[in-house]
Amino acid sequence: MALLPILQYPDERLHTVAKPVAQVDDRIRQLVQDMAQTMYDAPGVGLAATQVNVHERVVVIDVSENSDDLLVLINPEITWYSEDSEVYEEGCLSVEGVYDKVERASEVKVKALDENGEQFEFHADGLLAVCVQHELDHLDGKVFVEHLSLLKQNRILNRIRKQQREAKKLAAEKVTV
Ligand code: GNR
Ligand code: NI
């Protein structure tokens, strides 16, 4: 088991399109375990392999109240989107401190492989539907802030750059004192 570092926006590696998993083997099962531990530790309700700099189509999700219902999605595909959409205030472990409204399909049907390589399908609504769409976006190299207006994206980028400048300044002061 290992905690994996999470890439932070605007790291360009978050824009990598992940490749399908060719074989669900022990290497993938180890990745799933490490991703689950990283997600629970954060804590978050989902994590895509892209966020830990592994560009293969693996996602872990747990939207249960007691964080005891892990959902493992390998090579997930959304096979149906409801016409109805819903707005949800989203956050992301790769964009710390940013929360904003994103409109997505309110229900989806998903097809995926589990950690034994068995195909399964399910229907999702509520937070699970939001989370599945958010995580599949990550696998396609898309971060939720890219659903926001360019004005908002620029404000977020400027805020992050300012924070990085200040952190750098503080670190430099510590060294010289
Ligand atoms: O922990 C998370 N919470 C969350 C809240 C609203 C909509 C989406 C999410 S996913 C996020 C974890 C994450 O960044 N997954 O990629
Ligand atoms: Ni995210």
In Å, how far from its chain's centre is CA 156? 18
Residues serving a catalytic function are: 135
Cα–Cα distance measured from residue 134 to residue 48, given in angstroms and rounded to the nearest whole number:
9
Cα–Cα distance measured from residue 85 to residue 69, given in angstroms and rounded to the nearest whole number:
26
Q: What is the pLDDT of residue 174?
A: 83
Q: What is the pLDDT of residue 11?
A: 98
pLDDT tens digits, 4-49: 999 999 999 999 999 999 999 999 999 999 999 999 999 999 999 9
Q: Looking at ligand 1, which atom is closest to the CA of residue 102?
A: 7
Cα–Cα distance measured from residue 172 to residue 57, given in angstroms and rounded to the nearest whole number:
39
Q: DSSP assignment of 106-134, as one string?
A: SEEEEEEE-TTS-EEEEEEEHHHHHHHHH
pTM over cut 0.75: yes
Distance 27 CA to ligand 2 centre (A): 23
Asked if 35 contacts 49 with a C-beta cutoff of 8 angstroms, the reply is yes
Q: Which of the listed residues 93, 102, 128, 136 should we mutate to test ligand 1's pocket, taking the one with most ligand atoms within 8 A of CB?
A: 93
Distance 48 CA to ligand 2 centre (A): 7
- Regions of the chain short of the pLDDT cut 70: 177
Distance 91 CA to ligand 1 centre (A): 5
Q: Looking at ligand 1, which atom is closest to the CA of residue 43?
A: 1
Q: Looking at ligand 1, which atom is closest to the CA of residue 51?
A: 16
Q: What is the pLDDT of residue 177?
A: 65
DSSP classification of residue 83:
S
Q: Where are the alpha helices (DSSP H) in the chain?
A: 26-41, 126-139, 150-176
Tokens for 127? 């937070």
SS3 99: strand
For ligand 2, an ion, list residues with CB under 5 A.
92
Q: What is the pLDDT of residue 1?
A: 81
SS3 45: coil
Beta-carbon count within 10 A of 33 CB: 16
